[in-house]
Structure 1
Amino acid sequence: MDHRKLSDHFSVAPQIEPEDVAKLAEMGFRTLITNRPDEEIEDEEHRSANMASLAAKHGMNYHYLPYYPGEMTFDLVADYEAIMKSAPKPAFGYCRSGTRSSHLWGMSQAGLMELDKIVETAANAGYDHSSLMPVLKFYATRRGKNG
């Protein structure tokens, strides 16, 4: 499992294996977030229902928040923020490559963290967020106006 820390409260990874859920629980993760839509996954063992069952078996909270490629929305970011606000920490998110999970983290930090620091933190975890700078700026501005 290729685990990449973005903050003390959130890490991401490319697609995890079912047996990784027990490892994540042993590592102290308390919440598992699947951002990969079930429609992208051919085998049942990697689909959200099985991963939710495994998370429950290992005492973890579970959230299925599918993020379809190219479909970043205010509602999606708001749903991610709501999960992170209430979920036991630390939380662990994954999708096919970890990129979409890292994007949600980045958008949630816009307006709370310096944008260059968001891009740098993502880069240190192996994700290039430099192309997101315009949308990060927009989210930061929106957050400034709305709280």
Structure 2
Amino acid sequence: MTDFRHVTDELSVAPQISAADVAEAKAQGFVAIICNRPDGEDPGQPTAAEIAAAAEAAGLTYAHIPVRGAPGPAEVEAMRQAVDAADGPVLAYCRSGTRSITTWSIGQAMSGAHERGELVALGRAAGYDLSGVLGG
């Protein structure tokens, strides 16, 4: 089931996707997929390699930036770079989408690309509460 949640024109986030969802992402105009979920969190979860293969077959760029717990500086910077490098909309996913939007939003706040209050509002509109992470 596709549950792509629009955050900005550059980024949408989603709970765990399947290989079949990659075709839908392509059809919706995404050019890149970022996986923020480590392999092996849940039995039966598609591996990063499975989604990467589907993305490659669909002509999408793919990055695996696993986040365990709170995102650290390396994950935040890798996420920022991956989104900035994309030549169009990016779909990022993890188990629920929370790690993806949190990792992205921390980078946006740190770079000054978005104000914290704006990021909290963007998160709320997409169904995520970022107030504990960003304040506001």
TM > 0.5 between the two?
yes
Query: Which segments of structure 1 move beyond 6 Å, counting only runs of 4 or more?
Result: none
AA at the equivalent of 2:77: A
Q: Which residue of 2 aligns with 1:16?
A: 17
Aligned positions of 1:92-107 closer than 5 A = 92-107=91-106
Could you say what secondary structure the match of 1:39 adopts?
Answer: coil
* Contact 2:79–2:103 under 8 Å retained in 1: yes
Corresponding residue number in structure 2 for 1:52: 52
Q: How does 1:59-98 map to 2 (within 5 A)?
A: 59-70=59-70, 72-98=71-97
RMSD (Å) for aligned C-alpha atoms: 1.5
Which structure has the larger Rg over C-alpha atoms? 1
Residues 11-68 of structure 1 deviation map (CA, whole Å, 9 limit, x = unaligned): 0011112211011111110101111100214237x10111000001111001011011
Q: Give me the identity figure in percent.
A: 36
**One-letter amino acid matched to 1:24:** A
Alignment of 1:114-125 (within 5 A): 114-125=115-126
TM-score, reference length from structure 2: 0.92
SS in 1 for 2:12: strand
Kindly tell me the number of residue pairs found equivalent between the two proteins.
Answer: 133
Give distance in 2, aligned partners of 1:2 and 1:78. Answer: 25
More helix by share: 1
> What secondary structure, in the 3-state scheme, does the structure 2 residue paired with 1:82 have?
helix
SS at match of 1:19: helix
